[in-house]
Chain A
Amino acid sequence: MNETLTIPEIKRVESGDLPRHETISRTGAFSGARSKILAILAIPLICCALSFPIVDSNFFRGYADPQWVRSSSQIYSSRNADCEIVIFGDSTAITGIDPKIVEAATHMHTCNLAQTKGVLAVLGTSALDVYLRNNARPRILLIQFAGADFYSPGSWRDTTAYMEGVVPMLRFYPRRQFLKAIVRHPEIYMGMMHYAYITGLINLLRNRFHRTVLPHSEQTPIDVHFVRAVPAFKNCDRVEDLDPIFHAPDARFIRALRQHYSGMADHLILDAAPLSECDKRIGFLDRTLSGIDNKEEPYPVTLFNEGYEHYTAAGARRLSNEIAAQIESLVGREQRHSSSESASRESNAVRSRGQ
């Protein structure tokens, strides 16, 4: 080919000048390579192996666990708590239901035990089972999920190491279950390393090596409710940029929840978290969600501050009050029902005495 037609700089890498297959000098420049390779591989492997006992240690639990693991772990250490109303669910229940508001309105001792979606993905609702086994039977058990989360959350189908679920599994569940999870989800290795060395270190420094987990006897009643310090949405602009997941709620999952938990409390309430007015799934969920106990109107977007279903303090107040009203109406109906039953019994007795 005519040399004048080519681009010199590009021709430099053209066929004639393809990289030469030089082999590295094997005459001693790389002597002892084998032991150095082993050293390179050993560093991450050893750190990985150590991360499990580090995370499981009492020191780590006391000083280095982040707040979201600390609060969700309370559910496992609680014994003989007497919560008349138990609230469980996903992050919509964490951010949206303030047990103090519910308690003030209903005059019943209320505990919020909700867990993040990460915990639910890994452990399903087994944390609630642990609580119900070790504590007093509640009068009301309210389970609230985001509408689209009413599908078997324990399936854990993707390959994300949700450490908020994996860490309790390491600490509170049988070893065999944890080992099985590692085999199925090898990403736990990396997640555990990150949790031990990055998250743990950040928290140690943030807490300035102060113990953050109280001894068992000093623990306050379980309340995982908190609101993220993020400004509220002003309009639909930012919400519309989000790309929601259009999961069709699983009716079988809802039925299974009702079947499993209906005997564990006097009353079981299954609620779907109210959506924002900007949520693209409103119509979709209206059509596909059934078998739940509430029918919420969408909330103004200004009551939300991140994602789709995380509430501001004002949003939490509104939702908590509505839930309190829902509970009161249920309890009131029961009281009316029982008082009318007793009234009819009395009148029957009077009638029979008259006869």
Chain B
Amino acid sequence: MLFTSVPFLLYFMPIVVLGYQLCGKIGRRAVIAWLGLASVVFYACWDPRFVVLLMGSIAVNFFCSRMIAGTATYFAKKCWMVAGITANLSALCYYKYLFKLLGAFNALGMSHHLWTTVILPLGISFFTFTQIAYLVDLAQGQATPQSFPEYALFVTFFPHLIAGPILHHREMMPQFSQNKQYRLHADDFFVGLSWFILGLAKKAIIADRLAPTADFTFRHVSLLSPAEAWVGVLSYSFQLYFDFSGYSDMAIGLARMFSIQFPMNFNSPYKARNMIDFWARWHMTLTRYLTLYLYDPITLTISRRRLAAGKKVSRKAQKTIPGFTAMVATPMLATMFLAGIWHGAGLQFLIFGTLHGIYLSVNHAWRMFRGSHVVDRKPALHTQLTSVLLTYACVLVGQVFFRADSTHDAIALLGALGGYHHRSGTSVLTQSLVILLGLIPVVWLAPNTQEILGQVEPSLRRPRFGFGCTWSWAFALGLIFLGAILFISSSSTFLYFQF
């Protein structure tokens, strides 16, 4: 079920909200059971067959978590943790990579068997990663065991189930176990509804308008003039941002209606002045996950090995070429390489990940080797502008690989961007140029959702445009809601569902 679909808006949400209020009168367990049931129904509306997979995954992970919590020795805990992670990754590999890999073998002539394909279960990456993090932290003593209903709700809670944000148990579990009144709070509901409406508008009014141009561009990479290639790639870049951040805003808003706070996922990423800043603003919960569960463990392993070999691991040692290569560049490249694989099976995703690994490594090298006196000084306006444009250009190159159907297409499109094709063009993108010109100030100058609403870090503390529970805001939000509904395209889906 899509957040933008009529059954969701008209039937699902009113029923869930009403049920939540009624169950709240019974108690916390009833509320948790109700939200868990609603989440399973939400997932089943896409394809009921995969509810078995989802519930199976939850059962296996819950069993592993119980075993981890129940054993005393660290070795036994680690064994159960490895078993749980293996089970999770096996399911992920089966559905996401195995058949694509076998297809690639066929394409290379290494095999001639006609392999079948499987449907990728919706949100499998998200619920797998959420559960792996829980097992790892439980084994390390950084999480506490939960009861099955709470654990199941943490994994399945419908606002985040399909496309994130990737939740961390430490921020969610306390909210489910709090001894608070489980009923609707009008103020939370007002903020949640505002958040949801702004996300819906991003998706329906902006992202869906850009989709045809973006789709056309990536389908006809060899037919485009340079101007059309630029319009098409920029359209995709804006579409991706408004689509995914719109989805995240809707998820945050929905959770907030039940007085549950989700972490932010986007913070105006295209305003970033360098690649490190970009990843701190783009899909922030993924960045956090990658840092905690990939980058840090890899860095720690390398540091331990260096210490064992009698080498230094200090900040000073990082500023040497071998130290930087070992302790910053290597874990960074490895992390982003794996992040690329997470996004999909295909050479273009590997290039996407590696490219960002290189960007980040270069960015760190620049910071470390130029000296802090240069970095700390506030840059001039033109330097800031150049930094933002350079960062965005790097992001665009990565996004071309991210969206293209193949590496060949990506390179052809980059060629078109650079004017190497000199095609006559298709002249169908003029209208999109007008939309893009209108969006440029929105992307780079306007405040983002959390800045407008002023509710959660890292937004500004004070809301923008005088947001508050006023009649003028209620009227404006009602009109935005109406506008978004008028533009909802029934055939559209969310870009990040494929991951």
Contact of B475 among A21, A22, A37, A39 (CB under 8 A): A39
Which of B106-114, B311-319, B343-351, B431-439 lies at the interface?
A: B311-319
Which of B24-32, B75-83, B124-132, B275-283 lies at the interface?
A: B275-283
Complex-state Cα separation, A28 to B261, whole angstroms: 21
Which of A183-191, A216-224, A296-304 lies at the interface?
A: A183-191
* A286 is an interface residue with CB less than 8 A from chain B: no
Residue pair A30, B190 in contact (C-beta under 8 Å): yes
Residue pair B457, A37 in contact (C-beta under 8 Å): no
CB distance from B325 to the nearest CB of A (A): 14
CB distance from A135 to the nearest CB of B (A): 35
* A19 is an interface residue with CB less than 8 A from chain B: yes
A187 touching B175 in the complex, CB below 8 Å, given contacts A5-B303, A15-B292: no
Complex-state Cα separation, A12 to B291, whole angstroms: 11
A190 touching B490 in the complex, CB below 8 Å, given contacts A4-B318, A42-B478: yes
Residue pair A40, B477 in contact (C-beta under 8 Å): yes
CB distance from B117 to the nearest CB of A (A): 16
Contact of A186 among B6, B327, B470, B481 (CB under 8 A): B6
Contact of B263 among A6, A18, A24 (CB under 8 A): A18
Which of B84-92, B144-152, B181-189, B412-420 lies at the interface?
A: B181-189
Contacts of B259 in A (CB 8 A): 23
Residue pair A44, B296 in contact (C-beta under 8 Å): no
Task: Mark interface residues in A187-204 (1 if CB within 8 Å of B CB, else 0).
Answer: 101110110011000000
* A31 is an interface residue with CB less than 8 A from chain B: yes
* B371 is an interface residue with CB less than 8 A from chain A: no
A33 touching B288 in the complex, CB below 8 Å, given contacts A44-B485, A187-B490: no
Residue pair A190, B478 in contact (C-beta under 8 Å): no
Contacts of A15 in B (CB 8 A): 168, 170, 292
* B486 is an interface residue with CB less than 8 A from chain A: yes
* B219 is an interface residue with CB less than 8 A from chain A: yes
A4 touching B315 in the complex, CB below 8 Å, given contacts A9-B277, A14-B288, A21-B175: yes
Complex-state Cα separation, A42 to B456, whole angstroms: 27
A13 touching B475 in the complex, CB below 8 Å, given contacts A43-B481, A241-B219: no
A19 touching B457 in the complex, CB below 8 Å, given contacts A13-B284, A190-B490: yes
CB distance from B198 to the nearest CB of A (A): 12
Complex-state Cα separation, A309 to B171, whole angstroms: 55
Closest to B364 in A: A7
CB distance from B365 to the nearest CB of A (A): 13
Task: Mark interface residues in A32-60 (1 if CB within 8 Å of B CB, else 0).
Answer: 11101101111110011000000000000
Chain B stretch 169-201: residues in CB contact (< 8 A) with chain A: 170-171, 174-175, 185-191, 193, 197
CB distance from A245 to the nearest CB of B (A): 14
Closest to A24 in B: B187
Residue pair A47, B263 in contact (C-beta under 8 Å): no
Residue pair A33, B186 in contact (C-beta under 8 Å): yes
Closest to A35 in B: B474
* A229 is an interface residue with CB less than 8 A from chain B: no
Contacts of A44 in B (CB 8 A): 478, 481-482, 485
Residue pair B193, A37 in contact (C-beta under 8 Å): yes
Residue pair A26, B474 in contact (C-beta under 8 Å): no
Complex-state Cα separation, A41 to B287, whole angstroms: 35
Contacts of A14 in B (CB 8 A): 288, 291-292
Closest to A51 in B: B486
* A159 is an interface residue with CB less than 8 A from chain B: yes
* A214 is an interface residue with CB less than 8 A from chain B: no
Task: Mark interface residues in B358-379 (1 if CB within 8 Å of A CB, else 0).
Answer: 0000001000000000000000
A24 touching B6 in the complex, CB below 8 Å, given contacts A37-B193, A44-B478, A197-B486: no
Binding site secondary structure of chain A: helix
Contact of A7 among B7, B185, B276 (CB under 8 A): B276
Complex-state Cα separation, A43 to B284, whole angstroms: 34
Residue pair A40, B481 in contact (C-beta under 8 Å): yes
Residue pair A10, B327 in contact (C-beta under 8 Å): no
Chain A stretch 126-165: residues in CB contact (< 8 A) with chain B: 159-161
Closest to A195 in B: B486
* B460 is an interface residue with CB less than 8 A from chain A: no
Binding site secondary structure of chain B: helix
A24 touching B327 in the complex, CB below 8 Å, given contacts A29-B468, A161-B490: no
CB distance from B187 to the nearest CB of A (A): 3
Task: Mark interface residues in B460-488 (1 if CB within 8 Å of A CB, else 0).
Answer: 00000000111101110111011001111
Closest to B296 in A: A1
Complex-state Cα separation, A198 to B220, whole angstroms: 31
Residue pair B490, A7 in contact (C-beta under 8 Å): no
* A20 is an interface residue with CB less than 8 A from chain B: yes
CB distance from B183 to the nearest CB of A (A): 13
Residue pair A29, B469 in contact (C-beta under 8 Å): yes
Residue pair A36, B313 in contact (C-beta under 8 Å): no
* B295 is an interface residue with CB less than 8 A from chain A: yes
A4 touching B314 in the complex, CB below 8 Å, given contacts A14-B291, A36-B469, A161-B490: yes
Contacts of B296 in A (CB 8 A): 1, 5-6
* A2 is an interface residue with CB less than 8 A from chain B: yes
Contact of A5 among B185, B327, B488 (CB under 8 A): B327
Residue pair B191, A24 in contact (C-beta under 8 Å): yes
CB distance from A18 to the nearest CB of B (A): 5
Contacts of A40 in B (CB 8 A): 193, 197, 474, 477-478, 481
Complex-state Cα separation, A200 to B412, whole angstroms: 42
Residue pair B174, A1 in contact (C-beta under 8 Å): no
A186 touching B299 in the complex, CB below 8 Å, given contacts A29-B468, A40-B478: no
Q: Which among A6, A10, A14 has the highest number of chain B CB atoms within 10 Å?
A: A10
Complex-state Cα separation, A197 to B187, whole angstroms: 32
Residue pair A186, B10 in contact (C-beta under 8 Å): yes
Residue pair B220, A186 in contact (C-beta under 8 Å): no
CB distance from B478 to the nearest CB of A (A): 3
Contacts of A191 in B (CB 8 A): 490
Chain B interface residues (CB < 8 Å from chain A): 5-7, 10-11, 168, 170-171, 174-175, 185-191, 193, 197, 219-220, 259, 261, 263-264, 276-277, 279-280, 284, 287-288, 291-292, 295-296, 299-300, 303, 313-315, 318, 327, 364, 455-458, 468-471, 473-475, 477-479, 481-482, 485-488, 490-491
A-B complex: 7 closest residue pairs judged by Cβ atoms:
A43-B478, A30-B187, A33-B186, A36-B474, A9-B280, A33-B190, A4-B315
Chain A interface residues (CB < 8 Å from chain B): 1-2, 4-7, 9-15, 18-24, 26, 29-34, 36-37, 39-44, 47-48, 159-161, 186-187, 189-191, 193-194, 197-198, 241
A sample of 5 more A-B contacts (CB under 8 A), given A5-B300, A10-B291, A15-B292, is A5-B327, A21-B171, A26-B187, A32-B469, A37-B186
Q: List 9 A-B contacts (CB under 8 A).
A: A5-B313, A9-B277, A13-B263, A13-B280, A36-B469, A40-B474, A189-B6, A190-B6, A190-B488
